[in-house]
A and B are shown apart, each in its own frame.
Chain A
Amino acid sequence: MKYGWLGIVMTSVFLGSLAPANAQATLKAVQERGVLSCGVSQGLPGFSAPDDTGKWSGLDVDFCRALAAVTLNDPLKVKFVPLSAKDRFTALQSGEIDVLSRNTTWSLSRDTSLGLNFTAVMYYDGQGFMVRKSLKVNSALELNGASVCVQTGTTNEQNLADYFRSNNMKYEVVAFATADETIKAYESGRCDVFTSDVSQLYAERLKLTVPDDHAVLPEIISKEPLGPVVRHGDDQWFDIVKWTLFAMVNAEELNVTQKNVGEMLKSNKPEIARLLGTDGNLGQQLGLTNDWVVRIVKAVGNYGESFDRNVGAGSKLRISRGLNKLWNQGGIQYAPPIR
Chain B
Amino acid sequence: MATAPRRPPFRPLTRLWRVLSGDTGWKGIAGQLVFAGLLAWLVSDIVINARANLQAQHIASGFGFLAGTAGFSVNQALIRYSEADTYLRVFEVGLLNTLLVSIIGIVFATLIGFAVALGRLSPNWLLARLSGGYVEIIRNLPLLFQLLFWYLAVLAALPNPRQSLSVFGVAFLNNRGFVVPHMEPQQGAGVFVVAILAAIAASLVMMAYARRRLYRHGERLRVWPFALALLIGLPLLGIVLFGVPVSFDVPVLRGFNFTGGTRVTPELVALTIALSTYTAAFIAEIVRGGLLAVPKGQMEAGASLGLSRPAILRLVIIPQAMRLILPPLTNQYLNLTKNSSLAVAIGYPDLFSVFAGTTLSQTGQAVEIIAMTMAVYLAISLVTSALMNAYGWHLDRSQRA
Q: Is the CB of A86 within 8 A of B361?
A: yes
Number of A residues near B (Cβ < 8 Å) is 57
Q: B residues within 8 A CB of A158?
A: 71-72, 362
Report the bound CA distance from A176 to B72 in whole Å.
14
Chain B, 100-120, contact with A by CB distance < 8 Å: what is the 0/1 string? 000000000000000000000
Q: A residues within 8 A CB of B266?
A: 190
Q: Is the CB of B360 within 8 A of A86?
A: yes
Q: Is the CB of B361 within 8 A of A4?
A: no
Q: Is the CB of A145 within 8 A of B259?
A: yes
Interface residues of B in 17-56 (CB under 8 A from A): 17, 20-21, 35, 38-39, 42, 45-46, 49-50, 53-54, 56
Q: Pick the contact of A89 from B255, B345, B364 — CB < 8 Å?
A: B364
Q: Pick the contact of B347 from A93, A164, A175 — CB < 8 Å?
A: A175
Chain A, 249-279, contact with B by CB distance < 8 Å: what is the 0/1 string? 0000000000000000000000000000000
Contacts A152-B353, A161-B71, A190-B175 known; A14 to B46 CB distance under 8 Å? yes
Q: State the Cβ distance, A235 to closest chain B Cβ, in Å.
A: 14
B346 is an interface residue with CB less than 8 A from chain A: yes
A154 is an interface residue with CB less than 8 A from chain B: yes
Chain A, 87-126, contact with B by CB distance < 8 Å: what is the 0/1 string? 0011001000000000000000110111100000000000
Q: Is the CB of B361 within 8 A of A176?
A: no
Contacts A157-B72, A158-B72, A173-B75 known; A21 to B53 CB distance under 8 Å? yes
Chain B, 192-204, contact with A by CB distance < 8 Å: what is the 0/1 string? 0000000000000
Interface 9-residue window, one of A40-48, A181-189, A240-248, A323-331? A181-189
Q: Is the CB of A145 within 8 A of B255?
A: yes
Interface residues of A in 151-198 (CB under 8 A from B): 152-154, 157-158, 160-162, 164-165, 170-177, 181-182, 184-185, 188-190, 192
Q: State the Cβ distance, A161 to closest chain B Cβ, in Å.
A: 5
Contacts A1-B20, A190-B155, A192-B256 known; A161 to B360 CB distance under 8 Å? no
Report the bound CA distance from A18 to B266 in whole Å.
41
A210 is an interface residue with CB less than 8 A from chain B: no
A7 is an interface residue with CB less than 8 A from chain B: yes
B363 is an interface residue with CB less than 8 A from chain A: yes
Q: B residues within 8 A CB of A181?
A: 345-347
A233 is an interface residue with CB less than 8 A from chain B: yes
Interface residues of B in 356-387 (CB under 8 A from A): 357-358, 360-366
Q: A residues within 8 A CB of B360?
A: 86, 153
Interface residues of A in 197-232 (CB under 8 A from B): 231-232
Interface residues of B in 214-266 (CB under 8 A from A): 254-257, 259, 266
Report the bound CA distance from A8 to B267 in whole Å.
42
A236 is an interface residue with CB less than 8 A from chain B: no
A49 is an interface residue with CB less than 8 A from chain B: no
Q: State the Cβ distance, A101 to closest chain B Cβ, in Å.
A: 18
Q: A residues within 8 A CB of B58?
A: 112, 115, 232
Report the bound CA distance from A175 to B45 in whole Å.
38
B137 is an interface residue with CB less than 8 A from chain A: no
Report the bound CA distance from A261 to B56 in whole Å.
42
- Name the residue on A nearest B158 (C-beta): A189
A281 is an interface residue with CB less than 8 A from chain B: no
Chain A, 1-29, contact with B by CB distance < 8 Å: what is the 0/1 string? 10010011001001100110110000000
Q: State the Cβ distance, B272 to closest chain A Cβ, in Å.
A: 17
Q: Pick the contact of B74 from A4, A14, A173, A177 — CB < 8 Å?
A: A173
Q: Is the CB of B347 within 8 A of A114?
A: no
Q: Is the CB of A146 within 8 A of B53?
A: no
Q: State the Cβ distance, A186 to closest chain B Cβ, in Å.
A: 11
Contacts A21-B53, A93-B59, A181-B347 known; A172 to B255 CB distance under 8 Å? no
Q: Is the CB of A176 within 8 A of B155?
A: no
Q: Could you write out 8 A-B pairs with CB less than 8 Å apart?
A: A18-B50, A86-B361, A152-B361, A153-B361, A161-B72, A173-B73, A188-B155, A188-B156
Q: Which residues of B are interface residues toward A (Cβ below 8 A)?
A: 17, 20-21, 35, 38-39, 42, 45-46, 49-50, 53-54, 56-60, 71-75, 83, 151-152, 155-156, 158, 160, 175-176, 254-257, 259, 266-267, 344-347, 349, 353-354, 357-358, 360-366
Supplied contacts A146-B257, A233-B57, 7 more A-B pairs, CB within 8 Å:
A1-B35, A93-B59, A112-B60, A172-B73, A173-B75, A174-B347, A185-B346
